Amino acid sequence: MPRGVIFDIDGTLVDSVDLHAKAWQEAFRHFGYDIPFERVWEQIGKGSDQLIPALLPKDAVKAKGKEIDEYRGRIYKRDYLPRVQPYPKVRELFERIRADGAEAPAPRANGRARNGQVTP
């Protein structure tokens, strides 16, 4: 029996992939780049240092990459993060892990503990 379990959060414990893609799409559009949702969605899971260059030309990355990333972060926290929901049975999963004697650290987002709660 394992002594502990560690999970990724985005797209694993919480249903956030589409919301991340929408926030990126909105940020790109804000700066004049109309990128289809599906193309953005395919890049979710990469850090911005890989995602932005995968979708924009090199000169655009150099000129606006950091600004796009910062803008996306602000709108995600403001408009999208409040809509993130845990997948079904996540709470039960953590209860089972703990009942079986293993430890599962409290999920964290942005470096802040969530006091054992999965919801944002």
- In this prediction, residue 120 carries a pLDDT of 36
Mean pLDDT for back-to-back runs of 10 residues, the chain (120 residues): 81 94 98 98 96 98 98 97 94 89 68 39
C-alpha to C-alpha distance for 107 and 118, rounded to whole angstroms: 6
- In this prediction, residue 104 carries a pLDDT of 75
Give the pTM: 0.81
The domain locations on the chain are 1-15+85-120, 17-83
Q: Which residue, chain included where needed, has tokens 């408009």?
A: 79
C-alpha to C-alpha distance for 65 and 24, rounded to whole angstroms: 12
- In this prediction, residue 44 carries a pLDDT of 96
- In this prediction, residue 9 carries a pLDDT of 87
- In this prediction, residue 29 carries a pLDDT of 98
